[in-house]
Structure 1
């Protein structure tokens, strides 16, 4: 805890950076989405190249080596696609979230109906599932608004996270090693 107290200012900087990022995401949501897609593309490209190299240099069995090579090639292709076509990449991500929400919601509805025999208030599980399905369908129907709302959620999260980090930094700044220890 003493090390954390001595480096309290790092938490403060981290919190301030998160708040600035969050505000910028709310002010410029389209630019934020583009930057996030470009970062994803760069990450996928670097990850793919490292997996490909590992697969080519890997001395293990042919099957694990093949998976590393295939995974590396897919990562490289995904990274290139994200950098060349950022709009399509962001739309594909939105559809992944939408279909995940729909399938998860259906599973929750089914589980809630089956739980009716076992527990009370299973309706909350069913309502959660219905809301998840509605969310997924809305993302499919209005993808532009869905992408914008995801960026807004990221922005709000970053601001709240930044506030928490700043509060933590000020709290640990005042920590005295040995205080409260009998």
Structure 2
């Protein structure tokens, strides 16, 4: 008795076919790139608001860290340093609340602190260039860098709003560049997915034809021999 045309799941044409990657990830990458680019452009148009948003994000992260410090300190009561952990967490939470309540003022304070640090470092660089002049060759470059830094530090201290706007523009520019790179990557990923899908079609067609030829050849051999062979999707079982 011979059985032909029996179908077993997992065998046959599915065994030879290779599925091409769907490449659906390019769409998510494209959407993320567009959103980030738009946010970067918005930061460049309204730089002050972008700095305020950054201050709020930092404040929220500080609150999470403060809560973790307080909880850890309370759970380890009686051990060395537990009281300091609770105190540091409370102070950190108060600073975060102040940042959330006055993000604009906090941003200006951060810019002023940066300006003070730049001013001190620039004064040190200029003094070092003056003291070492002639001993290690020309140190004019240290004096020039110190002079430029002094001017920048004074500007940030006197006009912190200018520094806030500049920081917002820099943040927006970086976000726009990152978003544009995501868009370019999404376009390339889409082209790869289309090419892989097109290349898989001839392979699947040839694999199906080879499987059908094998079935026909083995059916012909069974008819000639008159044996009781069982053909299961290209495999012969005596």
The structural deviation recorded for 1:170 is 6.1
SS at match of 1:62: coil
Q: Are the counterparts in 1 of residues 33 and 180 from structure 2 also a CA contact under 8 Å?
A: yes
Stretches of 4+ aligned residues off by more than 4 angstroms: 5-15, 164-175
CA spacing shift, 1:97–1:165, aligned 2, 3 Å: farther
2:53: which partner in 1?
35
Q: Are the counterparts in 2 of residues 9 and 169 from structure 1 also a CA contact under 8 Å?
A: yes
CA spacing shift, 1:66–1:127, aligned 2, 3 Å: farther
1:83: which partner in 2?
100
CA spacing shift, 1:15–1:57, aligned 2, 3 Å: same
Instruction: Figure out how many residues of one structure are paired with residues of the other and give that number.
Output: 170
Q: Following the alignment from structure 1 to structure 2, what is the Cα–Cα distance between the partners of residues 75 and 17?
A: 32
TM-score normalised by L of structure 2:
0.59
CA spacing shift, 1:57–1:133, aligned 2, 3 Å: farther
1:160: which partner in 2?
177
The structural deviation recorded for 1:161 is 3.4
TM-score normalised by L of structure 1:
0.74
Q: Following the alignment from structure 1 to structure 2, what is the Cα–Cα distance between the partners of residues 10 and 130?
A: 48
Larger radius of gyration: 2
SS at match of 1:71: helix
CA spacing shift, 1:57–1:141, aligned 2, 3 Å: same
The structural deviation recorded for 1:127 is 1.6
2:42: which partner in 1?
24
Q: Following the alignment from structure 1 to structure 2, what is the Cα–Cα distance between the partners of residues 6 and 99?
A: 50
Q: Select the structure that is richer in strand.
A: 2
Give the superposed CA RMSD: 3.1
1:129: which partner in 2?
146
1:68: which partner in 2?
85
